[in-house]
Chains A and B, each alone.
Chain A
């Protein structure tokens, strides 16, 4: 099985994707991660204004079989959360890189970006 790994995004080892746009970033979980979890039925996210610290838990994803923590790929302040996921968590299964986005943050430290994996590097990790 091959998973979608958009080349314009960057990735964490814990299977979050990041789409950087100057000093902000969108964050979600990868196609590989949603497939591993199976049917997602509940997503717990922090609130707008909360501060994320890189590599710390910021929420969780619950599927029928398991619950998994979400780890912040970068540090920053939450500007927006995807309101759809409260009622339609399955959007993360259906479309993990677009309608399944989770957070938008304002980056605290742009130098953290270079710690992320490229699409090729992430692809090597999941293949």
Chain B
């Protein structure tokens, strides 16, 4: 997927006001089949996939033994012994090997298949996305609940349709055979959107970007620091749970926060965050100009003592400190 097809701002507004299509085929797909598929997945993700019904999806973190996030993912239950999960771009082989390693270590009955290269994935997002896709299907799709899937044909091509996305807007993600990808992409007569607008859209929502808002090597974070407590089920015995159980959520070193700046200077990942006295207290992990609000916004980590809504911060931008203020996320009301 390119950064942009035309203007990032125009692509962003298409998704916020009507509909846009993203080719997210860089996302991974790993299939798990067998009697122990559920057990193995529960051991390797922070959430509880036993709670899923057939054709339902759940957001989860994949953590190491220290509770540090390796990747975030959506886990889909197809049936009681068949699951699929979606690692981020470039993580599919690593996760395939991780699942395989623990299957073998624990001698479990699961067939693990990395189908990333055989499956294409399109995200169709925006307030008219559901109606637009439904018009291309023989089935009713508007009653599909959030975080559930169905199999149908879209413009004559068999797709798994998932009511999920990464923009904050309503819409679908479509999974289909790579061999049908070009045909379906051409049939979807909506504006093409690139990675740039995908990033501005998710940043406005305060959604984490794997590798950037957390990174196992360069920005190690646990799910509590990253603000995704809702993905953690400590009653479930997953790798990383014991480390997380040992943490007092009141004593976290950092909180993930959103902030905005007056003026036009845009915070960039890696910029220092300082307190009012000018002492560095944290780091920016994402930043952009919000096309919806037309102000600079950012995401980053600061100690809890500085992380209340309205607290003043300073962001280091090109060797000068620019005043900023902590905001609630999402930055926008949909």
Contacts and interface: CB of A to CB of B under 8 A. Distances in A.
B8 A65 contact: yes
Given A64-B196, A65-B196, A41 B4 contact: no
B4 A38 contact: yes
Contact of A67 (B3, B196, B268): B268
B289 to A, nearest CB: 5
Nearest to B317: A67
A60 B3 CA distance: 21
A62 B3 contact: no
B3 A65 contact: yes
A38 B8 contact: yes
A122 interface: no
A80 interface: no
A64 B268 contact: no
Given A38-B196, A41-B289, A64 B265 contact: no
Given A64-B288, A64-B289, A65-B196, A38 B265 contact: no
Contacts of A62: 264-266
Nearest to B7: A39
Contact of B8 (A39, A60, A67): A39
B288 A42 contact: no
Q: Using C-beta atoms within 8 Å of the partner chain, give the interface range for chain A.
A: 10 to 19
Contacts of A38: 3-4, 7-8, 196
B284 to A, nearest CB: 14
A38 B2 CA distance: 13
Nearest to A64: B8
Interface in A22-81: 38-39, 41-42, 60, 62, 64-65, 67
Contact of B264 (A39, A42, A65, A93): A42
B217 to A, nearest CB: 23
Interface string B1-15: 001100111000000
B200 interface: yes
Contacts of B8: 38-39, 64-65
A121 B289 CA distance: 35
A64 B266 CA distance: 8
Contacts of A64: 8-9, 196, 200, 266, 288-289, 291
Nearest to B263: A42
A121 to B, nearest CB: 29
A67 B9 CA distance: 16
Nearest to A69: B318
A41 B7 contact: no
Nearest to B4: A38
Nearest to A87: B264
Nearest to B289: A41
Contacts of B266: 41-42, 62, 64, 67
A41 B8 CA distance: 11
Contacts of A42: 264-266, 289
Interface string A73-106: 0000000000000000000010000000000000
A60 B268 CA distance: 15
Contacts of B291: 64
Contacts of B196: 38, 64-65
A39 B3 CA distance: 12
B58 to A, nearest CB: 32
Q: Which 10 A-B pairs have the closest CB atoms?
A: A42-B264, A39-B9, A41-B289, A64-B8, A39-B7, A39-B8, A62-B266, A65-B196, A38-B8, A64-B289
28 contacts: A38-B3, A38-B4, A38-B7, A38-B8, A38-B196, A39-B7, A39-B9, A41-B266, A41-B289, A42-B264, A42-B265, A42-B266, A42-B289, A62-B264, A62-B265, A64-B8, A64-B9, A64-B196, A64-B200, A64-B266, A64-B289, A64-B291, A65-B3, A65-B8, A65-B196, A67-B266, A67-B268, A93-B7
Given A38-B7, A41-B264, A41-B289, 17 more contacts: A38-B196, A39-B7, A42-B264, A42-B265, A42-B266, A42-B289, A60-B318, A62-B264, A62-B265, A64-B8, A64-B9, A64-B200, A64-B266, A65-B3, A65-B8, A67-B318, A93-B7
